[in-house]
Structure 1
């Protein structure tokens, strides 16, 4: 329930509670909050158990689509396309030298580029009339 709350947030809440409630009422407020959270958890667990007992085996049938929806939240389109198009093989692994070729051809290497050197004093830079 409080998985995303870090120590800094808890510290801020304690300091805010100290200012709002004061040092003498802060322990009572923390105890009340603990009892309330525990009671809400018990209500939620009781409701889930009641639904589970009333629905019986149909409860598991309802949970399956909900678990599938949770899986969609972590959906990665790149891995899905790779899985369906390349049978789980990543063609980029072949280009990087990772993994086997797997029947896919790697793209040819780029032609070597001419060596670049600094211009001599007074030398004009090369000019390509087709590019401008």
Structure 2
């Protein structure tokens, strides 16, 4: 829920120690823990009450939420990416040599990024003959 690790927790404890002082800090921690436990109990009690009252319809109500969470997964994958890493991943196939300057060893994992880019060859259009009308493209007009 709150993505708090041990370093952040220690910073919060030190800040609380400075703000509250050593005599009021244990009481504040106890009050915070009790409040969080009570909120969690209320939430689980409300969920259990809904589940018991609605029965199997509760699972049908959760279906759209599950589908929404499935749609959010690609967005979570993009979160935390910098523009540089997006360009490297999606446009350069993971080859970051343009940014690092190390052109001897391409960093890409795909075989397409190993060599230089060569555009596909298209045949040249044949020139029109004398008094020949150009073809008409009805979709373009």
Which TM class, normalised by the smaller chain length?
0.5 to 0.7
Residue 89 of structure 2 corresponds to residue 74 of structure 1: no
Match of 1:96 in 2: 111
Match of 2:38 in 1: 39
Aligned pairs, number? 82
Q: TM-score, normalised by structure 1?
A: 0.55
Match of 2:29 in 1: 30
Residue 6 of structure 2 corresponds to residue 7 of structure 1: yes
Per-residue deviation at 1:96? 2.4
Give, in whole Å, the separation in 1 of the partners of 2:74 and 2:34.
Answer: 38
Unaligned segments of structure 1, at least 5 residues: 77-91, 98-108, 112-132
Unaligned segments of structure 2, at least 5 residues: 76-92, 94-109, 120-141
Q: TM-score, normalised by structure 2?
A: 0.52
Instruction: Indicate the SS of the match to 2:74.
Output: coil
Relative contact order higher in (CA < 8 Å, ≥ 6 apart): 2
CA offsets 1:10-32 (integer angstroms, 9 cap, x no match): 11210111012110111111111
Give, in whole Å, the separation in 2 of the partners of 1:110 and 1:16.
Answer: 59
Q: Which runs of 4+ in 1 moved over 6 A?
A: none
Name whichever of 19-28 and 44-53 sits farther off.
19-28
Per-residue deviation at 1:75? 2.5
Per-residue deviation at 1:6? 1.8
Match of 1:50 in 2: 49
